[in-house]
């Protein structure tokens, strides 16, 4: 080897040493770290080792640039296609949602129009009814509770022990009948002592009277002085007063002894008993001591009802009333108005009325809940209209009527008595009008409507389903 070659090679090595080292490509590093994978790629048809080494050598040469990491143009076209497909799917979904919302809105609007059309048609059709003349006599019902004609609660008037009880609840008693006997030894002893004292006072009175009579004769004969006569007269008067006091004391104790016997105040039934034999009895009233018996007269009952102001003026003493009881649904009992208060309760505007009736041999009992039907006379030329036709306004009650040309016309009326579902109309109607039932607030005066007569589905008065016995009798007749 000549010197020129050595110098050229040395100059080349120096130039290489002075050239900055470039980073090895990523593929070369991976191949160097994993040689086995490189062999596998060669077997699978990947580029061979020589070509890869040549690429690495070319990369190490000065002035050569590393390979670029930019994706190929084929991948860019593929990504752009996927993006367009996604935009197309989103646009299609938005179109479907928009079409669905538009359809629902159109359907809702169609339903609203149909509903409004139906409501307008319903508003044009109204139910009407004609007022009727009030019957000359009508009845109304009021609730009431049966009470005995007389009732008394018996108390003791003396101290002692119940010695004997002769009656119990449910027993019938007569006036003055002995019900119980109380034993009071202290009262008996006081009575005996008072009677003995009375005998002493009577003896002293007799002696004083004899002395006084004797002094009268001696005074006329002027045997005794006037002073002695006056003294004997005073002693006589004192003895007489003492005797009267003793008699009063005995009478008081005898009255207390009579209280040891409890007697019935009137004919009736013992409805309650609150004591037993041997019980300690103390005098008192309902506030301090318990009662002994309660006696009630139950052959005649009375029922108190509160009649409203509208009917109070028609109630007269002695008029007949019908009484009903839930225990006897097929029977009606007769009663009479015994008396009325002739004044109204200012709070409730009602009059208290007493009705009396027979207990029907004990079939009706005190405390039963009864229905009282009272018949009253109605005023002349009065119409009855359903309460559902009224329209209450500031100017007064009105009704909506339908004229001959099927238009609404409001009329002011004057009301009478209120019967609940019906009311009396005193003025404003002649009985030929067609009244609108339950008129709405939007029903205006002069509005055209289509009246529809309300059917009366009430049964005739007194109608009832046939009983089993009547059905059997009808079957026998048909046979």
Instruction: Indicate the number of domains in the chain.
Output: 4
pLDDT tens-digit readout, 53-94:
444 444 444 444 445 455 555 566 677 778 888 888 888 888
Q: Evaluate the CA torsion angle 40, 45, 51, 55 in order and state its sign.
A: negative
Pair 391, 397: CB distance under 8 Å: yes
274 and 323 together in one domain:
no
CATH number for the domain harbouring residue 420: 2.40.420.20
Pair 417, 311: CB distance under 8 Å: yes
255 and 364 together in one domain:
no
User: Which of 162, 152, 150, 153 lies closest to 261 in space, CA to CA?
Assistant: 162
CATH number for the domain harbouring residue 365: 2.40.30.170
> pTM of the prediction?
0.53
Sheet containing strand 422-427, edge to edge, reads 132-133, 383-386, 422-427, 414-418
State the pLDDT at residue 215.
Answer: 81
End of a domain among 226, 246, 280?
280
Pair 294, 272: CB distance under 8 Å: yes
pLDDT tens-digit readout, 379-438:
666 888 999 999 998 889 999 999 988 899 999 999 887 777 888 888 889 888 999 999
250 and 302 together in one domain:
no
Residue 227 lies inside a defined structural domain of this protein = yes
State the pLDDT at residue 373.
Answer: 92
Residue 58 lies inside a defined structural domain of this protein = yes
End of a domain among 227, 255, 280?
280
263 and 327 together in one domain:
no
Residue 416 lies inside a defined structural domain of this protein = yes
Tell me the residue range of the domain where 167 lies.
150-280
352 and 339 together in one domain:
yes
DSSP letter assigned to residue 275 = -
351 and 404 together in one domain:
no
- Determine phi and psi for 224, rounding to 5 degrees: -110, 160
End of a domain among 65, 96, 112?
65
Residue 70 lies inside a defined structural domain of this protein = no
């Amino acid at each position: 080897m000549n010197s020129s070659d050595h110098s050229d090679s040395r100059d080349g090595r120096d130039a290489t040493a002075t050239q900055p080292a470039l980073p090895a490509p990523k593929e070369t590093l991976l191949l160097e770290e994993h040689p086995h994978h490189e062999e596998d790629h060669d077997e699978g048809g990947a580029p061979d080792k020589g070509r890869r080494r040549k690429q690495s050598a070319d990369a190490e040469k000065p002035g050569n640039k590393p390979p670029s990491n930019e994706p190929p143009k084929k991948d860019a076209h593929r990504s752009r296609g996927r993006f367009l497909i996604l935009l197309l799917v989103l646009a299609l979904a938005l179109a479907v949602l928009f079409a669905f919302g538009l359809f629902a809105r159109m359907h809702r609007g169609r339903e609203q129009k149909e509903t409004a059309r139906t409501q307008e048609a319903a508003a044009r059709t109204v139910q009407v009814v004609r007022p009727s003349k009030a019957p000359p006599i009508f009845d109304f019902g009021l609730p009431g509770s049966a009470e005995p004609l007389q009732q008394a609660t018996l108390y003791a008037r003396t101290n002692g022990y119940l010695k004997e009880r002769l009656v119990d609840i449910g027993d019938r008693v007569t006036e003055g009948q002995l019900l119980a006997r109380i034993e009071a030894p202290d009262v008996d002893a006081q009575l005996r002592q008072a009677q003995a004292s009375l005998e002493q006072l009577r003896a002293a009175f007799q002696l004083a009277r004899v002395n006084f009579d004797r002094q009268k004769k001696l005074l006329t004969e002027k045997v005794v002085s006037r002073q002695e006569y006056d003294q004997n007269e005073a002693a006589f008067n004192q003895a007489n007063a003492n005797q009267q006091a003793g008699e009063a004391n005995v009478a008081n104790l005898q009255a207390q002894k009579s209280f040891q016997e409890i007697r019935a105040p009137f004919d009736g039934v013992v409805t309650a008993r609150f004591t037993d034999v041997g019980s300690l009895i103390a005098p008192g009233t309902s506030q301090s001591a318990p009662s002994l018996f309660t006696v009630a007269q139950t052959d005649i009952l009375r029922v108190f009802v509160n009649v409203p102001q509208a009917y109070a003026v028609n109630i007269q003493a002695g008029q007949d009333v019908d009484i009903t009881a839930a225990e006897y649904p097929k029977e009606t009992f007769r009663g009479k108005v015994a008396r009325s208060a002739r004044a109204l309760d200012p709070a409730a505007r009602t009059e208290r009325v007493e009705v009396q009736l027979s207990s029907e041999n004990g079939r009706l009992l005190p405390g039963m809940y009864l229905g009282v039907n009272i018949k009253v006379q109605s005023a002349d030329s009065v119409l009855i209209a359903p309460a559902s036709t009224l329209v209450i306004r500031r100017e007064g009650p009105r009704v909506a009527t339908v004229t001959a040309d099927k238009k609404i016309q409001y009329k002011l009326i004057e009301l009478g008595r209120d019967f609940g579902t019906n009311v009396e109309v005193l003025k404003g109607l002649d009985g030929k009008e067609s009244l609108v039932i339950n008129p709405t607030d939007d029903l205006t005066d002069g509005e055209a409507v289509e009246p529809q007569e309300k059917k009366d589905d009430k049964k005739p008065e007194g109608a009832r389903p046939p009983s089993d016995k009547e059905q059997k009798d009808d079957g026998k007749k048909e046979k």
